[in-house]
Amino acid sequence: MILSAHAVFANIDLNAFWAQNSWIGEKLATATWETFYMVIICTALSYLFGLPLGVILVTTEAGHVLENRWVNRSLGVIVNATRSIPFIIFLILVIPFTRLVVGTSIGTTASMVPLTLAAIPFVARMVETSFKEIQWGLIEAAVSMGANAWQVIAKVLIPEAMPSIILGVAITTINLVSYSAMAGIVGGGGLGTLAYYYGYQRYEDLIMWATVIVLIIFVQCVQVLGDKMAARAINKRR
């Protein structure tokens, strides 16, 4: 049973504990780096594929610059189907593909495959939402001045949606932190593995709370950085 943080730290001689368990600091540092590595790389990869997918979802809608209802509906079904699968189930479903790509289904690198695949449709919908916030009049104005579809995307949609896209990156990163913790339960590495195998199964409450604190700090830093970068993008757009 997990005790409260106050009870844990009140009943343990921390100096003696760390002297006898110096390995904890090393494990925590390694797990933190693994989580950071997984989340940052997966966020970058998910936007590499998810951003173009979001652009296609928006621009192929009826009346838009690349209208194609068949493409729009087909991609929409695929994105919705993927997003409807809980990540822990999705993690198991893509094990054969993960083994095909990296040769194993266990470990930090292996976890990046399902993490990225799960994040891509989420990013696509985030980008789609960001683009739909743009006033249609701006797009019509660009088209009336002779801009083609790709110029509308590069010079209207992406610049105007940049603050929202940046906030979406922060949200995606935070979601991937949660996903990476779930991946850790099945040997994916990172803070999830540390919390589950060393904190929960070994009843080391201090390890569990240390993991939680690190995750909270990481998420707070990501959100603050995202807010500042979005505000800066808004100022540049004015």
For residue 1, the model assigns a pLDDT of 45
CA distance linking residue 113 with residue 82, whole number of Å: 14
How far from 220 is each of 57, 129, 174, 215, 216, CA to CA, in Å? 31, 24, 9, 9, 6
Show the domain range for 62: 5-237
Enter the DSSP assignment of 198. I
pLDDT in tens, the chain (238 residues): 445 555 555 555 656 655 666 667 778 888 889 899 999 999 999 999 999 999 999 999 988 888 899 999 999 999 999 999 988 889 889 989 989 988 888 888 888 999 999 999 999 999 999 999 998 889 989 888 888 989 999 999 999 999 999 999 999 999 999 888 888 777 777 888 788 777 777 777 778 888 888 889 999 999 999 999 999 988 876 6
Q: What is the CATH number of the domain that holds 211?
A: 1.10.3720.10
For residue 10, the model assigns a pLDDT of 54
φ, ψ of residue 73 to 5 degrees: the values are -70, -40
Q: How many residues are given for the chain? A: 238
In the block, which residue shows the tokens 């800066």? 232
Q: How many structural domains compose the chain? A: 1
